[in-house]
Chain A
Amino acid sequence: MASYPVFLLRRFGQFLLVVFIGISATFFVTHLTPIDPVEESIGSIQQMGQSDPRAVELMRQSLRALYGLEGSIWQQYLHFWGRLATGDLGPSLSAFPTPVSTIILRSLPWTIGLMTVSTLITFILGNIVGALAGYYRKNMALKAVSLIFIAMQPIPYYIFAFVLIILFGYVWPILPINGGYEMNTNLNLSLALILDILKHSILPALSLILVGTGSWLIGMRALVSNIITEDYVVFAELGGVQKRRILRSYIARNAMVPQFTGLAMSLGAIFNGTVITEIVFGYPGIGNLLISAVHAGDYSLVLGLSALSIVGVAAAVFIIDVLSPLIDPRIKVE
């Protein structure tokens, strides 16, 4: 463990490099799209009846300066990093001059709420069913449940989203199919609001849970299948230790170590949002925000959302890497 500080430093350097490369790539990709935020803004202004060609050209120049889009792409790139270094994501270009951070913070809680809950439910459900199915391999009920989740796992989650909308929005219309809350709800914190938000999150969460559970289940079942052949499990069984205790204390606890690594990565990826789910259900999260930003050519907002996602995933992986040698004695830092 003497080399751990060196490992930590090296790993932190890698983390910074990944973030730098990821954000740089996003910067250039967004700036190379054919959609120009200045033209988008001019389009909006033209809708207000302005068509004087001389004025439009002057407006184009003004907006380019106002949005910080003057100069070469390299100058803009350096300017962008200079601003980001101070924690400033800049103003949104489609909602100028509102800061990108303000707009993201308005949508982020919705995504974090939806994704955290659905990820945790998926994780818990998948691991419990996976552990049971791996241990009680002859149990027909567990086999059937596993088969259902595994069969659903390769199906794209938006297919489930549409199926759920048809079932619970039209055939048996008991759940809302659009938005994060009822349109006429007061957003002051109250029990009614919380219940309403929960009600609106059921179908989007369900579409993620139905598909996501299978992958945790497969992983856990495979881990358990390997562990049950280990000597200490065989000895425990021969020694007459209760099956429930063997599963809980001998098998599941060991199998959970890599699963928690996966959970940490999934939680880090929460900042990616779930674009299609949010669009299908009209959910007011960052996935929806990202799409509207792309359509509006809002570089700043796309970059802000991408930076959040890149830092989230990279940080999750970094934390797992640096904690693993401390938690798991089988991992050595060389």
Chain B
Amino acid sequence: MQHWKKLAFGVALATLGLMAAAKADDYTSLPRKETLIVENPEGTIKNPGWFNIWVNGGGGVSTGLQQLTMDTLWYIDPEQGLGGSTWDNSLAADKPQYNADFTEMTVKLRKGLYWSDGVEFTADDVVYTVKTQMDHPGMVWSAAFSVQVASVEATDPYTVVFKLKKPNSRFHALFTVRWNGAWIMPKHIFEKVADPVRYDFANPISLGAYKLKAYDPQGKWYTWEKRDDWQRTSLARFGEPAPKYVTYVDPGPPDKRTIAQIEHNLDIIHDNTPEGMFTLKEKSKTVDSWFPGFPFAHPDPTLPAVIFNTQDPTFQNPDVRWALALLIDIKAVDMASYRGAATLSALGVPPTAIAMKDYQAPLQDWLKTFEIDTGKRKIKPYDPTVGQQIADILRKQPKFKDQIPTDPAAINTAFGYGWWKPDPQAAAELLEKAGFKKTGGKWMTPDGQPFKIRMSVEGDTRSVFTRAGTLIAQQWAAFGIDSKAVPSTSLWQTSLQPGDFQVAIAWSVETWGGDPDLSFFLDSWHSEFVAKKGENQPPRNWQRWSNPELDKIIESIRKVSADDPKGIELGNDYLKLVAREMPTIPLMSYNVFTSMDTTYWKGYPTIADPYTDPVPNWANSRLMMVKLKPAQP
């Protein structure tokens, strides 16, 4: 062979070798049938090599880190859970045991659980987690532990006793996963580190059923591999996880991720636009969604609402807030925001499955007879047929008609029960009762100023609710109120927290989802936590609303344990109170348009088998791993 031919052959061989080497480690080289590919909604991770989840260091959390490798004492699933209960004793062997006055909590731990490096998980890890974070201000759970924990000790390798500074019947909530929780640290790793705050935890060891295999140094993807000893993890109680590999990716903008799923290269899209979901349902025969038909999406245990800044004098009177509620045509708002794919709620609780059973359904009769006094008459503002009406509207659209349920119970589940009737006449009477006057077609405040409302919305970052807020502002403007929507960058940080807003579309209610205990958000609504005007409001009472009756309800809830049925009764009292007072106007659940491709995997959670929330950035989504089955031999 001539020299130049040898040279060319050598170069070609080397090039092929280099290209093969370049493909060797990335996730697409893994067997597709053994790999679950999931969207990470955090996008590209800014600090990809940071795995210290106990410090907010710019690393990803939903990269699989919290879903697949972390663990803590308990989980409450936002849906029905596995094993017949939403409550799951995970690292704990049993429920938390409190003493009589809730100043001490004892935890019994499971035996036989191991970290991925072969070291056994024990009570020392739990004690170390708490003490280390208390000793290092700035770690994610350091403040929460510091304000509550007087002491923590391991009385034996599988028992931890917490002594609390003040009685707290919900202290265990810190160690209970809804979306996340206080994850347990590996003592044997961190105790060798000079400063836990500055340690990146590269090559993280795992307490979950998966361990890190590889990740993109630019933060685009993370791949996790099933542990050989997965039986020694808490998830093993539910069976063997099916996917050998799970990859979390940033698949790019919505169109790209939609195309990727149509081409079966992305198994789970975390969230899509309503339009994107409609397209997927139309173009792909293999896409599953929470509801098989409208509204497709999963109702998050979060309640978007019109939030009033009740420290603004204009919105201190409940009559004004009620007047504004009666000017909203919720059907139009629903169509403008979610294109009809929403689950409505007239009550101050998100319409998740458990809340439908414990709150929404039992209060329907009360709502039907509920009256408000406009000053001139009493009206019954509730329309129990709104969910049905929306279903009827959607059924007229040829594209969707076969996907709209007809069974009234299914309609209630999908679209919600009812909502408030638009009643401009009653709204006018309520405003007049509050001292407002209409002059020259425009409403004036009691002190003679034009009634102006600026509705803060998040703009493009949350376009569904921006559309809702814009339409509501238009409906108020049509009534003669100088009202318009204004986009606010970083709405929570620049408007809600400092109280620098009049009215906003956001949420101040979040629940456990799968559990009726409302303390997850309600405790923070107590008047003791309402900030003074001009000061930062701690979460979640963004409306800065206080009410002595509410305080009594909250204080009563604090005195009963989380699973005491009395809590539901008190929850109903709260719902009646906020319906009367209307500190926020509840709109609908935060519907998340998660889509799941069944080409390679089947057994995703759906309304027919609601064993967990399908949204894959929740830590509970680890349950999917044991329920999924390969769709191909």
Answer yes or no: are A and B bound together in one complex: yes
Interface digits, A5-37 against B, CB 8 Å rule (1 contact, 0 not)?
Answer: 000000000000000000000000000001110
Shortest distance from the beta carbon of A295 to any chain B beta carbon, whole Å: 7
- Total A residues in contact with B, Cβ cutoff 8 Å: 56
Does any Cβ of A come within 8 Å of B249's Cβ? yes
Does any Cβ of A come within 8 Å of B443's Cβ? no
Given contacts A94-B58, A178-B253, 20 further A-B contacts (CB under 8 A): A35-B494, A43-B493, A44-B56, A49-B180, A51-B523, A51-B538, A53-B538, A56-B538, A59-B144, A95-B59, A96-B138, A97-B198, A98-B200, A183-B216, A183-B220, A184-B27, A187-B216, A187-B218, A191-B15, A192-B19
Does any Cβ of A come within 8 Å of B492's Cβ? yes
| CA of A116 to CA of B143, assembled, Å | 47
Does any Cβ of A come within 8 Å of B99's Cβ? no
Are B55 and A97 within 8 A (Cβ)?
Answer: yes
Are B524 and A34 within 8 A (Cβ)?
Answer: no
Does any Cβ of B come within 8 Å of A105's Cβ? no
User: Which chain B residues lie closer than 8 Å to A185 at the CB level?
Assistant: 22, 26
The 5 closest A-B pairs by CB, nearest first: A95-B58, A53-B538, A62-B137, A59-B143, A53-B529
User: Which chain A residues lie closer than 8 Å to B252 at the CB level?
Assistant: 178-179, 183, 282
Interface digits, B484-495 against A, CB 8 Å rule (1 contact, 0 not)?
Answer: 000001101110
Does any Cβ of A come within 8 Å of B497's Cβ? yes
Are A96 and B220 within 8 A (Cβ)?
Answer: no
- Total B residues in contact with A, Cβ cutoff 8 Å: 66
| CA of A127 to CA of B386, assembled, Å | 69
Can you name 23 A-B residue pairings with CB atoms under 8 Å? A34-B494, A39-B493, A39-B497, A39-B536, A44-B56, A51-B521, A53-B524, A53-B539, A54-B147, A55-B143, A58-B147, A95-B46, A96-B57, A98-B50, A103-B46, A103-B47, A178-B256, A183-B216, A183-B220, A185-B22, A187-B216, A190-B18, A191-B22
Shortest distance from the beta carbon of A264 to any chain B beta carbon, whole Å: 31
User: Which chain A residues lie closer than 8 Å to B538 at the CB level?
Assistant: 51, 53, 56-57
Are A58 and B44 within 8 A (Cβ)?
Answer: no
| CA of A188 to CA of B24, assembled, Å | 10
Are A190 and B493 within 8 A (Cβ)?
Answer: no
| CA of A35 to CA of B494, assembled, Å | 6
Interface digits, B371-415 against A, CB 8 Å rule (1 contact, 0 not)?
Answer: 000000000000000000000000000000000000000000000
Does any Cβ of B come within 8 Å of A234's Cβ? no
User: Which chain B residues lie closer than 8 Å to A3 at the CB level?
Assistant: none
Which of A52, A192, A292, A295 contacts B18, CB < 8 Å? Answer: A192
Does any Cβ of A come within 8 Å of B459's Cβ? no
Q: Which residue of A lies closest to B538 (CB)?
A: A53
Are B493 and A58 within 8 A (Cβ)?
Answer: no
User: Which chain B residues lie closer than 8 Å to A46 at the CB level?
Assistant: 539
Are A92 and B58 within 8 A (Cβ)?
Answer: yes
Interface digits, B1-18 against A, CB 8 Å rule (1 contact, 0 not)?
Answer: 000000000000001001
| CA of A176 to CA of B490, assembled, Å | 31
Interface digits, B144-161 against A, CB 8 Å rule (1 contact, 0 not)?
Answer: 101110000000000000
| CA of A61 to CA of B143, assembled, Å | 10
Does any Cβ of B come within 8 Å of A199's Cβ? no
Are B22 and A49 within 8 A (Cβ)?
Answer: no
Are B22 and A193 within 8 A (Cβ)?
Answer: yes
User: Which chain B residues lie closer than 8 Å to A272 at the CB level?
Assistant: none
Does any Cβ of A come within 8 Å of B28's Cβ? yes
Q: Which residue of A lies closest to B139 (CB)?
A: A62
Are A96 and B55 within 8 A (Cβ)?
Answer: yes
Most buried by B among A39, A58, A59, A92: A59
User: Which chain A residues lie closer than 8 Å to B197 at the CB level?
Assistant: 66, 97
* Residues in B lying within 8 Å of A, measured CB to CB: 15, 18-19, 21-28, 44, 46-47, 50, 55-59, 61, 137-138, 140-144, 146-148, 173-174, 178-181, 197-198, 200, 216-218, 220-221, 249-253, 256, 489-490, 492-494, 497, 520-521, 523-524, 529, 536, 538-540
Shortest distance from the beta carbon of B266 to any chain A beta carbon, whole Å: 11
Does any Cβ of B come within 8 Å of A226's Cβ? no
Which of B46, B146, B494 contacts A58, CB < 8 Å? Answer: B146
| CA of A65 to CA of B181, assembled, Å | 25
User: Which chain A residues lie closer than 8 Å to B143 at the CB level?
Assistant: 55-56, 58-59, 62
User: Which chain A residues lie closer than 8 Å to B137 at the CB level?
Assistant: 58, 61-62, 65-66
Are B146 and A55 within 8 A (Cβ)?
Answer: yes
Shortest distance from the beta carbon of A146 to any chain B beta carbon, whole Å: 37
Does any Cβ of B come within 8 Å of A45's Cβ? yes
Shortest distance from the beta carbon of A46 to any chain B beta carbon, whole Å: 5
Shortest distance from the beta carbon of B134 to any chain A beta carbon, whole Å: 11
| CA of A62 to CA of B134, assembled, Å | 11
Q: Which residue of A lies closest to B146 (CB)?
A: A58
Are A35 and B19 within 8 A (Cβ)?
Answer: no
Interface digits, A294-329 against B, CB 8 Å rule (1 contact, 0 not)?
Answer: 010100000000000000000000000000000000
Are B55 and A50 within 8 A (Cβ)?
Answer: no
User: Which chain B residues lie closer than 8 Å to A97 at the CB level?
Assistant: 55, 57, 197-198
Are B57 and A95 within 8 A (Cβ)?
Answer: yes
User: Which chain B residues lie closer than 8 Å to A284 at the CB level?
Assistant: 44, 218
User: Which chain B residues lie closer than 8 Å to A60 at the CB level?
Assistant: 536
User: Which chain A residues lie closer than 8 Å to B178 at the CB level?
Assistant: 49
| CA of A284 to CA of B540, assembled, Å | 35
Are B179 and A49 within 8 A (Cβ)?
Answer: yes
| CA of A35 to CA of B488, assembled, Å | 11
| CA of A192 to CA of B23, assembled, Å | 9
Known: A50-B141, A58-B147, A103-B46. A186 touches B18 (CB 8 A): no
Q: Which residue of A lies closest to B142 (CB)?
A: A62
Are A96 and B56 within 8 A (Cβ)?
Answer: yes
User: Which chain B residues lie closer than 8 Å to A52 at the CB level?
Assistant: 144, 147-148, 523-524
User: Which chain B residues lie closer than 8 Å to A287 at the CB level?
Assistant: none
Shortest distance from the beta carbon of A98 to any chain B beta carbon, whole Å: 5
